[in-house]
Amino acid sequence: MYRSHGTPDLVWDEVKEKFDPDSMGALPDLHVPDTTADDWQALLDLVVESGWQHEYSEGGTTLAVPSAAHVLARPHDAECPQLRVRPTQDMLAIFRFHADEEIDFDMDLREIQGQDRLDAFCGFLRSIGRHLGKPVLMCPEGVDDSPVLGFDPTLGRVVVLPDRAVGSGGGAPGQADTVGG
């Protein structure tokens, strides 16, 4: 949960406004851009290997976790499956299998208050980002193109991103104002 020398990725007092449910929305949008079905499978493998409590469901029915290829091959008019993951007992991430090009999930900011919870959150993003070798970005709820923080695979940690006007960029790697860019 800490980078070298015991320093946390983020310090709560410096970033708490980015975890304010009133200004960010209670369920900010988190995503890993530019993914494939192989990345989704790597995520599913990570969830199982990490021992995180998890539950996969389709249409309200709980099922065993299938392969990513199976989930992503469902008909386009089928209900979107979800994977509920608890990186800690008191923190829930809900992954939705909308498309193979992006891993999309939500987390409740009301569960990420204070330094200990922030450290657990950063550890979760780091685990995903390191396993996939890709950035993991967090945007305000409903504003997918304006990340405020994320895991930077080059730095190997979670960082605050520069402020940008909503709609000013896609948040994809290779752009100067995004993680990994």
pLDDT above 60 (res 177): no
Coil, helix or strand for 95? strand
Q: What is the residue extent of each domain of the chain?
A: 4-160
Looking at residue 143, what is its pLDDT? 87
| Mean local confidence (pLDDT), 91-112 | 96
Q: Phi and psi for 128 in degrees, rounded to 5?
A: -65, -50
* Identity of the highest mean pLDDT range in 73-82, 116-125, 159-168: 116-125
Residue 3, burial from CB neighbour count under 10 angstroms (0-12, 13-18, 19+): middle
The alpha-helical segments, DSSP class H, found in 34-155 are 37-50, 68-72, 115-132
Which residue did the predictor score with more confidence, 78 or 167? Answer: 78
Structure tokens at 166: 């909503």
Helices (H) and strands (E) in the chain, counts: 5, 9
| Mean local confidence (pLDDT), 142-171 | 79
Average pLDDT, the chain: 88
Superfamily of the domain at 4-160: Sirohaem synthase, central domain (3.30.160.110)
Percent residues over pLDDT 90 in the chain: 78
Looking at residue 7, what is its pLDDT? 82
